[in-house]
Amino acid sequence: MLPLENKRVLVTGGTGSLGRVLVRRLLKAELGQPKQVIVFSRDEAKQHAMRMSYLRRIAATDEIIYNNFHELLSFRVGDIRDYHSLSAALKDVDIVFNAAALKQVPTCEYFPFQAVETNIIGVQNIVRVISEQRIPVETVVGISTDKACKPVSVMGMTKALQERIFIEANLECPDTRFVCVRYGNVLASRGSVIPLFQEQIRNGGPVTVTTPEMTRFLMSLEEAADTIFAALMHAKRGETFVRKMVSARIIDLAEVLIGDRDIKIEFVGVRPGEKMHELLVSEEEIWRTMDRGDHYAIQPILPEVLPRTDFVPALDREYTSADTLITKDELREMLATSGLLMSQDQEEVDLLQ
């Protein structure tokens, strides 16, 4: 049987960029037809917009929310920081995708405890509800980031602790499988650099780049959802799935987006909490990393969860964005395939809207 057939699925942070794509893919029944998909988030306006889109409505009155709790796509206003609203959302749920997060690096630097509240305490609340209320959740997939690997930012530190909380949860909740996925920058997600560059280009520049040397792993929202589904299907308890990814120089990304336009690039320096290059697998993690086709699987650090140690590690060095760089032509093709290359005609239309 497909893993989501007749399952009740909860997506925390389901109104975010990744959450929306994940929900759309769930409703397509790629891994089986869910009994219900529940979007859990604290933004009622985004929930309303998402519901309207799903119902293909332009305008609506209160009746669209009637019978919400019985619909295939159901919405719950709440916050993973709040134990009680999370308890209500987790009731009778089979699968959890935790996409709720504070994820903008500078924001987390200026409001570090807010990042702790969501990315650590909120994550612990998921484990606590399942443990204390004995909810028979089958699988929890925690969504992490390359910034959790050897973290230097608040966002990365809190995401690294999310990973460790979920690994340990396999001991605390032995009837639930907790796994994680870790990947790099998602193209065109909210708060990412591409929407910023596109807006700067629309306004005639300059396009602001940190430094000429900075590199980042890149993937599309669809590839992010693919990685989550791969972990759901194949990850063993406590494993962290890492997608094999390409990377690019941020300066190359800016130049490809600018194209033939007469727009200047301005270097503004590294922002608070940023690295020059990102890591997906650290030197410490190499010895416990296995090859799983399109992904690496980092084995859990706790010996009680570690399934086996008699394997040949898949890597002999850190997996860094400095080593997997693509050319400008390859980057241009990647952006074009993702629909992110903006023509001058599109630019003029956008400015008129």
Q: Are the C-beta atoms of residues 35 and 8 closer than 8 Å to each other?
A: yes
Beta bridge partners of 215: 249
Strand-pairing partners, residue 12, are: 40, 98
Asked whether 241 and 225 are in contact (CB, 8 A), the reply is: no
C-alpha to C-alpha distances, 172 to 1, 27, 64, 301, nearest whole angstrom: 28, 31, 40, 15
Give yes or no for a contact between 22 and 11, defined as CB atoms under 8 angstroms apart.
yes
Closest Cα partner for 217 from 194, 188, 187, 239?
187
What letter does residue 268 receive in the DSSP assignment?
-
Would you tell me how many other CB atoms lie within 10 Å of the CB of residue 52?
A: 14
Phi, psi of 76 (to 5 degrees): -130, 125
Sign of the dihedral defined by the CA atoms of residues 107, 109, 113, 116, in that order: positive
For residue 301, with 0-12 CB atoms within 10 Å meaning exposed, 13-18 middle and 19 or more buried, which class applies?
A: middle
What lies within 8 Å, CB to CB, of 43 at 6+ separation is 15
Q: Are 214 and 250 in contact (CB under 8 A)?
A: yes
Catalytic machinery residues: 147
201's tokens: 């280009």
Phi, psi for 96 (deg, rounded to 5)? -125, 130
How is residue 203 written in tokens? 């306004």
